[in-house]
Chain A
Amino acid sequence: MKIFFLIGWRNLWRNKRRSLVVISSIALGIFAMMFSMALMNGLNNQMVENTISTSLGHIAVQRAGFQDDMKLQNSFSPSETALQSLEQTPGILAYAPRIQLEGMIRSSEASRGVLIIGIDPEKEKSVSGIAEYLLPDQGGTFLLNRGDRELLISKTLAEKLDLMVGDKAVILFQDVDREISGAALNVRGLYQSPIDSFDKYVIYTGLDTLAKMAGIGNRISRIVVRTENRDAVDPVAAHLRAAVPDPGIEILTWKDMAPNLLSAVALFDAMMYIFFAIIFTTVVFSIANVLIMAVMERFHEIGVMKSIGTRPVWIGAMVVFEAVNLALAGLIAGVVPGLLLVGALSVTGIDFSFYMESVRVWGTGAVVYPSIKPMDVWVSALIVMGTTLTAAVYPAVKAARIKPLEALHFI
């Protein structure tokens, strides 16, 4: 079979221009595929990371039922066992308590429905990126302690409510006894997260301040846990579930809390594969066309090869090897620059700030860092190889079926 691989390779270069056109189209296809995969990985990765970083955290420990009904009645006091487990479970970087409830913020100009989150500012810094999203140029600072009677709101919301740092705003909500509770608090700082919907809806105040106003004593809504990385989430969650065998407590991962996010990622992946299928369907026809032309040009020659005893299956193999050679050359020509470009962009990132509104809607951040996994490269290579082999089937069968005598008379 080696000889047919050799013949296939040399045949490739008998019509250099034609082969180079096909190799270029394969290379361009795989380059586009790898770049799209890397960009999509980067977008998906950042969308997930930003969601984890702003609202979800990696894991939440909360009262059973809180996820479906986030009311104050579902707040809880963490047990000693739970707190000890959080301290001792390997893979946990930090954890922080939160109280969260739905309410309203009102300024002298307007009012908005919001999610009010009470935080322990020092601990919160370790589990979320909210401190990093603060806009110091707006003159504010982060909350100082859990007893702070001040607010942290987004720049977007501040603009809608016509508020500035230092201004007073009123927050209103139903307390645990279903009585209207509220207070006038100063705006201490403004933030801007990568997620537009988050900015429009979330405000922060001190944990103790909110607990007191809500009348829940030392109870909290949830404990947000940050693990070493996303791969550690499932093992840590499993460990915690085993360590805290309380049916009244639920331990949820970010995937449990945001199934729509997973669906979005799966949808983007599926769309990408549909896009690749369209690209490579056209590549199949161009490769098949070139191979059919090559077979027809060598009709006489194939007849001679069959006359001197070459079996039909070997003739077919020769055509398939020619296609494999085309694919290999295209792969190298596409994968190498693809990896180099993605490698460079994974460091520098691609700035989509000119498209700021859209990237903020999707929560990806203005600068996207493409990333490619070895599996993506293998999948790309397999798709190209599969495409090329599919394209080679008809020309190979056609070549194998050439009748030697007919071919010998063909000039």
Chain B
Amino acid sequence: MSMIVLENVEKDYLHHGKKIPALRGVSLIIQSGEFSALAGPSGSGKTTLLNIIGGLDAPTAGSVTVDGTALTALSPRELADMRLRKIGFVFQAYNLIPVLSALENVEYVLLLQGLEKKERRERAEAVLTEVGLQDLMRRLPHELSGGQQQRVAVARAIVSAPAIVLADEPTANLDQKTGAMLMDIMHEMNLKKGITFLFSTHDPMVMERSERLIRLSDGNIVSDESKR
């Protein structure tokens, strides 16, 4: 089943009145349950592509469908609901809510979804235990290391069992060992829960561990290599 379908997606930015193309007619299909990575040099368009798939940015032309829903037809509120229920995000800089504990950060998404307190608490505790943070749940983000914060971010992204997790340079701020551990956790979630993962990365380790590697250059897909 196709989880993400991009057809001739173009994205132009205006800079001082001049049109700068970031994506030049990208077409791509990501199947459900894939563990894929977008790679390429800076400015190749991988983050732009990830933002468009996540509904954070709109394409200049082309169509984007995520889990059967055409994103270009959605209002800002519908896009917010789409991100809440179907998409998990992991950012390079962790981006946890600083005034909430690890547990509250993870629960936050479930709370927005309207789950009851008991269920929220159980699910958040379970997923934090899965990422190895069972003893640090009550800590605030600034009381955690970078790796621990990124594990909380992964837990937050997967706790609501989204259809897809989009991770923008998830290991960029982590050391090699911690990055590898994080990739193990995400791969385990991919295998156990069937969540589709799509990374944008510079990190060779992430490319190595991804099952499909899509290389971008200058706004175009230049290679698409499956390792399965």
Nearest Cβ on chain A to B198's Cβ, whole angstroms: 15
A-B pairs under 8 A by CB, number: 59
Any chain B CB within 8 A of the CB of A306? yes
- Please choose the segment from B2-10, B95-103, B207-215 that sits at the chain A interface, where 4 or more of its residues have CB less than 8 A away: B95-103
- Complex contacts, A11 vs chain B, CB 8 Å: 99
Q: Nearest CB to that of B112 among chain A residues?
A: A309
B178 contacts partner chain A, Cβ-Cβ < 8 Å: no
Contact of B83 among A7, A300, A307, A408 (CB under 8 A): A307
Of the four ranges (under 10, 10 to 19, 20 to 34, 35 or more), the interface on chain A belongs to 20 to 34
Rounded to whole angstroms, the CA-CA distance of A118 and B228 in the bound complex is 116
CA distance A313 to B90 in the complex (A): 23
Chain B contact residue count (CB 8 A cutoff): 26
B54 located at the interface, meaning its Cβ lies under 8 Å from any Cβ of chain A in the complex:
yes
CB distance from B224 to the nearest CB of A (A): 26
Say yes or no for A279: interface residue by CB 8 A criterion: no
Query: B81-108 CB contact bits vs A (8 Å, 1 = yes)?
Result: 1011101110100010111100010001
Shortest beta-carbon distance from B116 to chain A in Å: 13
A306 to B156, CA, bound (A): 14
Is there an interface contact between B77 and A305, defined as CB atoms closer than 8 Å? no
> What 1/0 mask marks residues of chain B from 68 to 79 whose CB sits below 8 Å from any chain A CB?
000000001100
Q: Is the CB of A3 within 8 A of B111?
A: yes
Q: Check B108–A3 contact: CB distance below 8 A.
A: yes
Inter-chain contact A312/B111, CB cutoff 8 Å: no
Which of B51, B80, B97 is in CB contact (< 8 Å) with A304? B97
Q: In the complex, which residues of chain A have a beta carbon less than 8 angstroms from the beta carbon of B156?
A: 308
In the complex, the answer to whether A304 meets B95 with C-beta atoms within 8 Å is yes
CB contacts under 8 Å to B, within A353-411, are 404-405, 408
B83, A309: Cβ atoms closer than 8 Å: yes
Cα distance A310–B85 when bound, in Å? 11
The answer to whether A309 touches B109, judged by C-beta atoms less than 8 angstroms apart, is yes
Q: How far is the CB of A356 from chain B (nearest CB, A)?
A: 57
- The residues of A that contact B54 with a CB separation of less than 8 Å are 307
Contacts of A305 in B (CB 8 A): 97
**A311–B83 touching, CB < 8 Å:** no
Mark out the residues of chain A between 1 and 34 whose CB falls within 8 Å of any chain B CB in the assembled complex. 3, 7, 10-11, 14
26 A–B contacts, CB within 8 A, in A order: A3-B104, A3-B108, A7-B97, A10-B100, A14-B99, A301-B97, A304-B95, A304-B97, A307-B54, A307-B56, A307-B83, A307-B89, A307-B91, A308-B89, A308-B109, A308-B156, A309-B80, A309-B84, A309-B85, A311-B80, A312-B76, A404-B56, A405-B51, A405-B57, A408-B56, A408-B91
Chain B positions near chain A (C-beta within 8 angstroms)? 51, 54, 56-57, 76-77, 80-81, 83-85, 87-89, 91, 95, 97-100, 104, 108-109, 111-112, 156
Task: Please list the 4 inter-chain residue pairs (A to B) with the smallest Cβ-Cβ separation, ordered nearest first.
Answer: A309-B84, A10-B99, A304-B95, A309-B83
